[in-house]
Amino acid sequence: MLSKFVSTGDKIELRSIDKGWGEQLDNSQKVYSSDVHVVLSDDTMEIIMPMENTKLILLPVDSEYELVIYGATGLYQCFARVTDRYKSNNVFLLLVELTSNLRKYQRREFYRFSCALEMRTRSLEEEEVNAIEQQTSYTLQAGLPLKRSIIVDISGGGFRFLSEQKYEPDSLVYCKYQLCMEKERKEYEVVGKVLSVREAENRPGTYEHRVQYYNLDKKIREKIIKFIFEEERNERKKERLS
């Protein structure tokens, strides 16, 4: 329950998810500060309208934000949508509805979303690795055989995948997969650095790899985080219907 972790008076930070899609908060990004006014239900709460230099910041209705809440038991993060704004007892308030689950938040980490996504992978050729590490222009070689893999969780910083092919730690791997957003599928080709590998429990011959994106374009990272946000919002809608 939301009220179990969030209480009246808790400090809260809001940032538009159109600017960064869940990247770590830093001083170069605009963050609005506010306080929780009252928790109304498991997925709605009133927050005090943020101010800047004694001026109210009129956040638009239907705008969506990443929230970081300083609760009594820790730091929490979620996504939310402003559904109304009004004045009550001389206090200007925003009514917000959570569009994702509330979760523990660590500023240096990206949220990992559990999934099952088909992917194709291969080790990079030596000349590809040299070009990437030297940050020179290069073109990935086409037509090389790819191994079937399954992404089991994904984040803006990397992903975890299963494959019968074992890739060595610190090696660079070419990865190709599709994400569906707004009913449109788009293919992504990224390079990942293998952080760790181990044989999957109860699945001999299958290896679990933890991978970090290597020199990932910021726009692609934002699209990946947007995909995660949309998928979690869809799951939350399904939970409500059931």
State whether 161 and 216 are in the same domain: yes
In whole angstroms, how far apart are CA 15 and each of 30, 66, 146, 204, 209?
7, 5, 40, 45, 32
State whether 130 and 235 are in the same domain: yes
**Of 104, 122, 145, which closes a domain?**
104
**Of 73, 104, 135, which closes a domain?**
104
Q: Model confidence over 11-31: pLDDT tens digits? A: 998 988 754 434 443 433 567
Residue 199 sits in a domain whose CATH number is 2.40.10.220
State whether 201 and 223 are in the same domain: yes
State whether 128 and 227 are in the same domain: yes
Q: What is the pLDDT of residue 75?
A: 84
What stretches in the chain show pLDDT beneath 50? 19-28
State whether 170 and 209 are in the same domain: yes
State whether 69 and 162 are in the same domain: no
For 107, counting Cβ atoms within 10 Å of its Cβ (0-12 exposed, 13-18 middle, 19+ buried), the class is exposed
**Of 71, 104, 137, which closes a domain?**
104
Question: Which domain range does residue 55 map to?
Answer: 2-104
Residue 59 sits in a domain whose CATH number is 2.30.110.10
Total structural domains in the chain?
2
Q: What is the pLDDT of residue 6?
A: 93
State whether 89 and 48 are in the same domain: yes
pTM: 0.62
**What is the C-alpha separation between 225 and 21, in angstroms, rounded?**
6
State whether 70 and 154 are in the same domain: no
Tell how many helices (H) and how many strands (E) occur in the chain. 3, 15
* Residue 8 near residue 48, CB atoms below 8 Å: no
- Taking alpha carbons only, the member of 75, 81, 70 closest to residue 45 is 81
State whether 139 and 230 are in the same domain: yes
